[in-house]
Structure 1
């Protein structure tokens, strides 16, 4: 049986070409930190080969994006060219859900609030 050669590309290169990250070294760190999944499988090697049709789940600093690979890049071109490399499948997040993910639950504490907190923490010790 003769298998047809399916075009593939390194995952770190694709992340760089699609403008998901700024540099290939950042792409490699993202992948090695197990923050990228290909077809629901955690990937930890930047040399992993992806092909058209693969679904990538990428956990960035403040969000999670889901991309379906629509093409393989040849270079890091302008943003309109990079958008042709993927189909964005990221689910829409409602404004109320966005507010729930925020860590702080109110305005910044005042100096008085910080003093009370420090006093409370000293009493605990």
Structure 2
């Protein structure tokens, strides 16, 4: 008895696993969290973690503070080396231009809060500052 030939099964992989395997997120839990928060859309629709991307699908997601748009070029459920992971997708030209413009903007006008090297003064620092106030004055009469 001969078993009928069947099509070779196409590789199926969950979206959260694919994002992790393509090295967009450090852990699968982080990729699932981003999907749950609605930061990932597949072909223009908000995606669920169990969606299965196909070759040619367009993915748009937020990674950190930047939005990325990629086209799926391959499927994999295992996380491999970075050169292999980069073959799973192709970033669109618009996405690359947006990321380049954002990097240039951060370089030219950095966030003022990032220039702060120290946080709140400690109790000891506050005492020192209050002692300074008793001894120093900007008035011309005190000189």
TM over 0.5: yes
Change (3 A) 1:105 1:6: same
Which structure has greater strand proportion?
1
When Rg is computed on C-alpha atoms for both structures, the one with the higher figure is 2
On the 8 A contact 1:7/1:51 being kept in 2, the answer is no
TM-score, scaled relative to structure 2: 0.63
Please give the residue correspondences for 1:66-85 in structure 2 after superposition, counting only pairs within 5 Å. 66-85=69-88
Q: RMSD of the alignment, in Å? A: 3.0
User: Once the 2 structures are TM-superposed, how far is the Cα of residue 72 of structure 1 from its aligned partner?
Assistant: 0.2
Gaps of 5+ in 2: 1-6, 121-143
1:91 to 88, 93, 96: 96
Change (3 A) 1:78 1:109: closer
Gaps of 5+ in 1: 112-125
User: Once the 2 structures are TM-superposed, how far is the Cα of residue 6 of structure 1 from its aligned partner?
Assistant: 5.9
TM-score, scaled relative to structure 1: 0.71
Change (3 A) 1:59 1:102: farther
Deviant stretches of 4+, over 6 Å: none
Change (3 A) 1:54 1:107: same
Question: Across the two proteins, how many residue pairs are aligned to each other?
Answer: 109
